[in-house]
Amino acid sequence: MRQGESHVIFRVLRLVTLLKRFKRKTGCYLLNQKRSLADNSAYLSFSHSEFPMKSDLYSTYAKKYDLAIQDNVYNAHLERPSLQAMLGDLMGLDVLDLGCGSGIYAEYLKQQSAQKITCIDIAEEMIAIVQAKMGDRVTAYAQDLSLGLPGEANESADVVVCPLVIHYLENLEDFFCEVNRVLKPGGYIVFSTHHPFADFECSLSGNYYERELINDVWDTVGVPVKVAFYRRSLTEITRAITGNGLVIEALSEGAVSEKAQAICPETYNYLSRNPNFIFLKCCKPMVSQKKI
Ligand SMILES: C[S@@+](CC[C@H](N)C(=O)[O-])C[C@H]1O[C@@H](n2cnc3c(N)ncnc32)[C@H](O)[C@@H]1O
């Protein structure tokens, strides 16, 4: 195959993938707003370099994002109830909220009587929202998780929550090594991420086992915003966990709440039949299992 031909095939595949995902994720939005997919066709011609890892969705649109996730289907009626179901009693515990976003989990952790809540996010705009909402009831600061957790002491956290963040990190080995370092023995992490099965529909390589950087366009805040994330196999995720001394205690594919039916029946029906996220609870054993 000549180079020009493979380029055309690559562009067509990318167009089909983006259209499929955009149509599914915007179904209700488009119906409500009476917009057509054609309005968004400009977004299908972005080049690779136009999708930075730090998305505008969590900086420029941070306030809109905070509003959008309060009662939407994917976050409020699928992700949060599914992840929260994996958390144990938090009363009096020290909790780290990694990739805290606008602090919706911090509010929940406070309601659950966590003693110390530390919120960390790469986006200064998100940290500002958390500080405005929570004041001195939490500690919140900006930190790129791909550079570790230099501000957190060894064995300082009882629980780590990390909802919908790890797909923005290229190196999960380093991430889970840091999680192991900051967790107290007997502590645990609960996290969610894109379901590897769902993300495989974005694959351009066609190789499920190969990690891929995916450029996508999401309408979470009512306008299309570019987002880049890593698609990876379940094997890569679980190896990074167990290879860094953590033990997988539970894995769930979540369940969309029936309340979502009233918000968007089309999305509710889709999510009732198709997995979108996975949820894992991983413990740090009392006696270290980390390879030396
Ligand atoms: C989908 S949002 C989830 C926010 C929050 N956990 C929630 O469930 O509402 C992903 C968050 O991860 C943050 N994030 C992305 N990459 C990051 C990184 N390398 N280090 C720290 N935070 C990151 C984003 O800024 C964003 O706030």
Answer left, alpha or beta for residue 245, where phi above 0 means left and psi between -120 and 50 means alpha.
left
Q: Which residues contact 265 (CB under 8 A, 6 or more apart)?
A: none
Pairing state between β 212-218 and 116-121:
unpaired
Residue 36: C-alpha distances to residues 14, 19, 22, 116, 225 (Å): 19, 12, 11, 47, 16
Q: Is 253 exposed, middle or buried (0-12, 13-18, 19+ CB in 10 A)?
A: middle
Q: Which two tokens stand for residue 53?
A: 């890892």
Q: Is 57 in the pocket of ligand 1 (CB under 6 A)?
A: no
| Domain ranges across the chain | 49-283
Q: Is residue 191 within 8 Å of 161, Cβ to Cβ?
A: yes
Residue 178: C-alpha distances to residues 85, 98, 151 (Å): 24, 12, 11
Closest CA to 228 of 214, 246, 209, 210: 214
201 C-alpha to center of ligand 1: Å?
23
Closest CA to 222 of 13, 39, 17: 39
Q: Which residues contact 68 (CB under 8 A, 6 or more apart)?
A: 220, 221, 222
Dihedral sign, CA of 199, 205, 210, 214? Answer: negative
101 C-alpha to center of ligand 1: Å?
5
Closest CA to 86 of 242, 246, 254, 235: 254
pLDDT of residue 17: 53
pLDDT digits (tens, 9 = 90+) for 184-233: 999 999 999 999 999 999 999 999 999 999 999 999 999 999 999 999 99
Q: Which range, of 9-18, 33-42, 55-64, 158-167, averages the lowest pLDDT?
A: 33-42
pLDDT of residue 54: 78
Q: Is 109 in the pocket of ligand 1 (CB under 6 A)?
A: no
Q: Is 76 in the pocket of ligand 1 (CB under 6 A)?
A: no
Segment 251-268 shows an average pLDDT of 97
- What atom of ligand 1 comes closest to residue 146's alpha carbon? 19
Ligand 1 pocket mutation, candidates 98, 165, 193, criterion most atoms within 8 A of CB: 165
Sequence-ordered strand ranges (E) for the chain: 94-98, 116-121, 139-142, 157-163, 183-194, 212-218, 225-231, 247-252, 277-283
Other C-beta atoms lying within 10 Å of the C-beta of residue 142:
14
Q: DSSP string covering 101-113, please? A: TTSHHHHHHHHTT
Q: Is 277 in the pocket of ligand 1 (CB under 6 A)?
A: no
- What atom of ligand 1 comes closest to residue 97's alpha carbon? 6
Does pLDDT of 292 surpass 70?
Answer: no
Fold of 49-283: Rossmann fold (3.40.50)
pLDDT of residue 290: 64
Q: Cα(72)–Cα(49) distance, rounded to whole angstroms?
A: 30
62 C-alpha to center of ligand 1: Å?
11
Q: Atom 9 in ligand 1: which residue has the minimum CA distance?
A: 101
Q: Is 106 in the pocket of ligand 1 (CB under 6 A)?
A: no
Segment 172-180 shows an average pLDDT of 98
Q: Is 218 in the pocket of ligand 1 (CB under 6 A)?
A: no
- What atom of ligand 1 comes closest to residue 168's alpha carbon? 16
104 C-alpha to center of ligand 1: Å?
12
* % of residues, the chain, pLDDT over 90: 79
Q: Which two tokens stand for residue 68?
A: 């959008």
